[in-house]
Amino acid sequence: MTLPATMRYVDLPSFGAPDVMTIKSGPLPAVRPGEVLVRVEAAGVNRPDVAQRQGHYPPPKDASPVLGLEISGEVVALGEGVVDLVLGDKVCALANGGGYAEYCAVPASQALAIPRGYDSVKSAALPETFFTVWANLFQMAGLTEGETVLIHGGTSGIGTTAIQLARAFGAEVLTTAGTAEKCAACVDLGAARAINYREEDFVAVVKEHTQGQGVDVVLDMVGASYFQKNLACLAKDGCLSIIAFLGGAQAEKVDLTPIMVKRLTVTGSTMRPRTAEEKRAIRDDLKAQVWPLLEAGQVAPVIHTVLPFDRVVEAHRLMESSDHIGKIVLTLD
């Protein structure tokens, strides 16, 4: 296969508002051992992309500085040692960076065959959110059948994924959202109760719904401003899993007593700094336990908007507005 000498990509010459991003041309990324080069057909837009654009989420030293953490497309080159993928395979992948481009090099251990019946747009909406939810909600927080979980931000890409996966594995879901429309969308996805946090006290609703027991797990992307309330929502031996700090990273005047009295666990992670082996383990779990659900139609990504690559500024503005329900996806010719 003859590859072009250059490609288009989203350049970030400085940190700032969405309009700092421009489309430029440059060389294709080098393919290192263990990696594959993917001709990108679609790329997901995620909150970490916004944080990186603003200067708050720097890429690892060995990662591409180009934005973009999830892609789908066709394998067009193989790095040394890659044996489980071949040229022409259609894959989606968790990228360490470089997804907002016509070509992206990704570790083969972070790539999955696109689910049967899926196109490039639907499969591009999977990796970042499904890797994140699986790692934090199931591997770390240990959510299991019969438990109850509170998921904040129910209509985000993470939220819509978490609601569906929690329900698919037999948990009861409570969730928060900011409008009646968003609450209704959460219920349609399987939430037993959607709480409008602008009109209701989610702690009171959780306690009422659980007859005072609390939930087993809280999946939180708000951070400091919800920390004390999240502790109050948890049942004995419960777990708070924090995946973002949209409401701040510094919590002041926090009463830690509930952690000791209720034997709570507080954990959290971001995906990007995880090791290659950790990401491979998540990939393998998804392939074995979640891909069959996708192919059976029991779980599916919720896609709000699909935009062409050259409207990336508009995509980021939409992400920052929080007016979307589900994922935002960019497509490339």
Strand pairing of 265-268 and 234-242? parallel
Residue 267 CA: distances (Å) to CA of 218, 223, 276? 10, 12, 20
Q: How far is CA 65 from the centre of its chain?
A: 19
Strand pairing of 90-94 and 111-113? antiparallel
Determine the Cα–Cα distance for residues 194 and 177; give it in Å rounded to an integer. 7
| Range 199-228 average pLDDT | 97
Is a pLDDT exceeding 80 seen at residue 333?
A: no
| CATH 3.40.50.720 domain locations along the chain | 130-268
Is a pLDDT exceeding 80 seen at residue 1?
A: no
| pLDDT tens per residue, range 40-65 | 999 999 999 999 999 999 999 899 99
At residue 133, the pLDDT reads 98
Angle at 141 between CA 236 and CA 199, to 5 degrees: 70
For 92, phi and psi rounded to 5 degrees?
-120, 155
| pLDDT tens per residue, range 273-331 | 899 999 999 999 999 999 999 999 999 999 999 999 999 999 999 999 999 999 999 99
Domain 130-268, CATH homologous superfamily name and number:
NAD(P)-binding Rossmann-like Domain (3.40.50.720)
The architecture CATH gives domain 6-126+272-331: Alpha-Beta Complex (3.90)
At residue 247, the pLDDT reads 84
| Range 159-168 average pLDDT | 98
Determine the Cα–Cα distance for residues 158 and 302; give it in Å rounded to an integer. 10
| CATH 3.90.180.10 domain locations along the chain | 6-126+272-331
Q: What beta strand segments (E) does the chain contain? A: 6-11, 22-27, 35-45, 70-78, 90-94, 103-107, 111-113, 148-151, 172-177, 193-196, 215-220, 234-242, 265-268, 303-308, 327-331
Determine the Cα–Cα distance for residues 119 and 275; give it in Å rounded to an integer. 29
User: How much of the chain exceeds pLDDT 70, in percent?
Assistant: 100
Q: Helix, strand or coil for residue 251? A: coil
